[in-house]
Amino acid sequence: MKNSFKTILTSAVLLLSLNSCKKEALNLLPTNDATESVVYATPAGYKQGLVRLYANYALTSPSGSDNSDVGGLNAGFADFLRLFWTSQELTTDEAVCNWGDTGIPELDNSTWSTDNQFLRGLYSRSISQITLVNEYLRQSTPEQLASRNITGADATNVLRYRAEARFLRAYQYWVLLDAFGNPPFLTENDLIGKVNPKQIQRAALFAYVESELKAIEPDLADARTNEYGRADKGADWALLARLYLNAQVYTGTAKYTEAITYSSKVIAASYILNPSYANLFKADNNVNNTENILTINYDGVNGTNYGGTTFLINAMVYTATDAAGMVSTAYGVPNGGWAGNRTRQNLPALFPDASGTLDKRGIFAGSKATIDAIDAPNDGLKVTKFKNVTSTGTTPASLNGTFSSLDFALFRLAEQYLIYGEAVARGGSGGTAAQALLYVNALRQRAYGNTSGNVVVAALTTDFYLDERGRELYWEGHRRTDLVRYGKFTGGTYLWPFKGGAKAGTSVPAYRNLYPIPNADLIANPNLVQNTGY
């Protein structure tokens, strides 16, 4: 199903040109007045409108990879995944980047300001996607469908499209909830263009996301029955499980029992672990892969941008062979290779050996794990698990030999196993340590290729789960959220190189558990109040 949905994702470039917004404001309409009468005149138009919403995850503008529809942000930085990954990984113990682009050194050193362009970019990209969903929902009400003579099975299909759109909006509000806490808030029911959006507080936004995900569940396709790359009940449950695992951070009230309930729903569906960990991150990861729950689909020829998995691959390798023996051709980007991202030593230290001989999830290259200087290109190992190469060793077509067709999993089954186990360890009801052990050892047997890495129930402490999440999910956009949940992202009880700007690491004030509301939005919208500490 990947090719069919990826093909129609490519056609969304046209929809981008019709619907793109000039500014990242929740109360703006699309800029082209023809969209209502042209794009939504037929049932096919509603499908294309839905495609546009998904495409906004994988494209940066209506006019190609050299342009950005997020105001003031370089096109190379404007992709959602690149911005999300940067916020979740570069500020943690898992990653560091030696580039000098404005804002990157701040992230490396945990000293970001309210004007950091990458944090502003994530905030703006999420709001842009929410804005597009709001307008789609305004155009797909029963009244609008009736006025356009869309009835019967066609209207039923649009009901499912609406549920998927609401899921995508809930996901983006989760991103804002997790990263910024108290963002501006509007839905399709609010008047637009008249007033500035009001600010919603974190606990209220949690309740909204929770209620939306529960409300849309009946209208979503059953798990694994939708087109590849589209949300279904499995994705809905997976986001709820993640939401509940972090509920105490977001609201002050733990919901570990609910995390067990919804991770169990995912696990009881038809998802199955991929037998090969490495193949989860290769360019044919859409084929016979029953582990991924929802992906961002990338196309290295027809829907290119300099973010996404193109960024993840190119930012770790050189065009020519480097001191670590890496060359871009081996990773499916023969004319790529930007070399900037590496690990801090904390990540490879989680594995019994950095070569991956034992725990094969440790997919690194390089000879020096220690970061003595951020600008030293060979300090730190390179994470080489993402490859624009198939499991059979072939390289997909790639525009200019630079872009990737590797899809990125927003949710996969392994995370749900670990949510279940951690929630049990934290005292949630409805699960057992014995069942959690089966899930953990399933992951470890895949990692080791045998039972030599198996653990026992006594090992399943909460600290074990943080380390196991590091081993299983590293560089997949989870680490900042995990460290915040464990009370280790700020403060001085857990350090990594250059945390707080000191080579050995130093304490960071607790207010940095949230990112700041960008100054530009504070100036534009007097309803907003900056997060404490900034």
Q: Which two tokens stand for residue 201?
A: 């507080």
How far apart, in Å, do the first and last CA atoms of the chain sit?
A: 46
- DSSP annotation of 332 reads T
Does position 328 have pLDDT exceeding 50, yes or no?
yes
pLDDT at site 64: 66
Q: What is the spatial distance between Cα 419 and Cα 482, in angstroms, rounded to a whole number?
A: 11
Residues 74 and 160: beta-carbon distance below 8 Å: no
In this prediction the pTM is 0.94
99 vs 328, more confident = 99
Of the listed ranges 65-74, 149-158, 383-392, 412-421, the one predicted with least confidence: 65-74
Average of per-residue pLDDT across 167-193: 95
- Which ranges of 333-476 would DSSP assign to H, the alpha helix? 413-425, 433-448, 462-473
- DSSP annotation of 411 reads E
Average of per-residue pLDDT across 321-346: 84
Average of per-residue pLDDT across 20-36: 45
Q: What is the spatial distance between Cα 308 and Cα 296, in angstroms, rounded to a whole number?
A: 8
Architecture of domain 1-216+491-534: Alpha Horseshoe (1.25)
Q: What is the pLDDT of residues 203-262, one digit of tens each?
A: 999 999 999 999 999 999 999 999 999 999 999 999 999 999 999 999 999 999 999 999
Phi (first) and psi of residue 74, to 5 degrees: -55, 135
Cα dihedral sign, 228-234-236-239: negative
Does position 19 have pLDDT exceeding 70, yes or no?
no
AA identity, residue 408: F
33 vs 395, more confident = 395
Q: Across the strands, what pairs with 294? A: 411
pLDDT at site 22: 30
Spacing of C-alpha 4 from chain mean position: 23
Q: What is the mean pLDDT of the chain?
A: 91
Q: What is the spatial distance between Cα 525 and Cα 534, in angstroms, rounded to a whole number?
A: 17
Helix (H) or strand (E) segment spanning residue 521: helix 519-524
Does position 59 have pLDDT exceeding 50, yes or no?
yes
pLDDT at site 28: 45
Q: What is the spatial distance between Cα 64 and Cα 50, in angstroms, rounded to a whole number?
A: 20
Q: What is the pLDDT of residues 399-414, one digit of tens each?
A: 999 999 999 999 999 9
Q: Name every residue whose Cβ is closer than 8 Å to that of residue 510 and which is 6 or more positions away in sequence.
A: 490, 491, 533
Q: Residue 192 to residues 189, 196, 280: CA-CA distances in angstroms?
A: 9, 9, 42
Q: Which two tokens stand for residue 108?
A: 């490396």
Q: Which residue shows structure tokens 């500014």? A: 23
Q: What is the pLDDT of residues 123-134, one digit of tens each?
A: 999 999 999 999
The percent of residues in the chain predicted with pLDDT above 90, rounded, is 82
According to DSSP, the β-strands at 184-185 and 198-199 are antiparallel
pLDDT at site 273: 98
pLDDT band (50, 70, 90) for residue 356? confident
Does position 324 have pLDDT exceeding 60, yes or no?
no
Average of per-residue pLDDT across 48-62: 89
Residues 79 and 404: beta-carbon distance below 8 Å: no
pLDDT band (50, 70, 90) for residue 33? very low
- Which ranges of 191-315 would DSSP assign to H, the alpha helix? 202-216, 233-245, 247-251, 256-268, 308-314
Q: Where are the domains of the chain?
A: 1-216+491-534
